[in-house]
């Protein structure tokens, strides 16, 4: 379940127009709920890369809280470098979950159209998995994909397919704009459009689940809610926007 929380905010993506108007800097803080209890906090930081026109950098920090943290402490960090079109260039994920401490690095090479994946056990200093796969010239990691989704103008009933990769697999994932909904989070209410992102059920991930994202129905397209519905034995995980800076 903890790693899945990271994947929620790191798996939705395709090519972005250069004049998309994304913020040059932004911080989004989410409350993570699982089985009707607060399970943790997630913070997404977005910024233009230090060098002009060199692209973007995005970071995610996830940590458990409350009862979940007492049962199984989680502290995960994910970062990715993207070019101007939001095509993934590299990503690093460090996961500290219980007694486990893993590091996963992915390099996306647009010239050779290859992605290299390396996962290590930091505690044991051993390689857990290493592989190389074919990718399109432009492919997206999940967090960069969340920002790409914010540049689309899909009305309910419309859909699009976009290239997505986690370094182990590369797929074309369908995104559907489904309907307009009012969404209330702890301190505000928003007019939104609900999207479904088809990454589960043997698309990018084998697990059976439904992933929905709610973006505000305005120019900002803020991601105010993300929800994944899994089998009954695991339950539903919901991320709700708590703070936007």
Q: Residue 124 has which token pair?
A: 């044991």
Look up the domain containing 92 and give its range: 2-244
pLDDT of residue 89: 95
* Phi, psi values for residue 207, rounded to 5°: -60, 145
Contacts of residue 60, defined as CB under 8 A and 6 or more positions apart, other chains included, come to 6, 9, 10, 42, 43, 44, 45, 76, 77, 78, 79, 143
Tell me the three state secondary structure of residue 132: strand
Spans of the chain, pLDDT less than 70: 1-21, 51-53, 67-72, 232-233
pLDDT of residue 51: 66
Angle between helices 2-9 and 142-149 (to 10 degrees): 40
Question: Model pTM?
Answer: 0.86
pLDDT of residue 8: 47
pLDDT one-digit tens code per residue, 8-58: 444 443 333 433 567 889 999 999 998 777 788 999 999 987 765 678 999
Closest CA to 80 of 173, 154, 6, 158: 6
pLDDT of residue 7: 46
> Residue written as tokens 């009954």?
232
pLDDT of residue 91: 95
pLDDT of residue 1: 44
Closest CA to 94 of 226, 225, 2: 2
pLDDT of residue 70: 61
Structural domain count of the chain: 1
The whole-angstrom separation of Cα 147 and Cα 45 is: 11
């Amino acid at each position: 379940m903890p790693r899945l929380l990271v994947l929620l905010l790191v798996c939705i993506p395709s090519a972005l127009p250069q004049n998309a108007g994304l913020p040059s800097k932004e911080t989004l803080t989410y409350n993570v709920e699982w089985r009707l209890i607060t399970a943790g906090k997630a913070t997404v930081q977005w910024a233009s890369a230090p060098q002009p026109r060199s692209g973007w950098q995005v970071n995610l920090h996830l940590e458990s809280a409350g009862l979940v943290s007492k049962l199984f402490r989680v502290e995960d960090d994910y970062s990715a470098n993207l070019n101007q079109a939001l095509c993934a260039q590299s990503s690093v994920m460090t996961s500290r979950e219980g007694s486990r401490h893993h590091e996963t690095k992915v390099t996306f090479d647009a010239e050779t159209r290859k992605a290299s994946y390396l996962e290590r056990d930091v505690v044991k200093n051993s390689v857990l998995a290493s592989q190389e796969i074919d990718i399109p010239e432009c492919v997206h990691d999940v967090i960069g994909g969340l920002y790409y989704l914010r540049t689309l103008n899909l009305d309910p009933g419309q859909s699009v397919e976009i290239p997505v990769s986690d370094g182990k697999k590369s797929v074309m994932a369908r995104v559907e704009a489904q309907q307009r909904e009012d969404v209330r989070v702890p301190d505000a209410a928003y007019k939104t459009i609900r999207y479904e992102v088809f990454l589960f059920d043997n698309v990018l991930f084998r697990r059976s689940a439904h992933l929905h994202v709610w973006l505000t129905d305005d120019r900002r397209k803020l991601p105010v809610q993300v929800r994944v519905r899994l089998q009954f034995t695991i339950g539903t995980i919901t991320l709700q926007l708590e703070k936007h800076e």
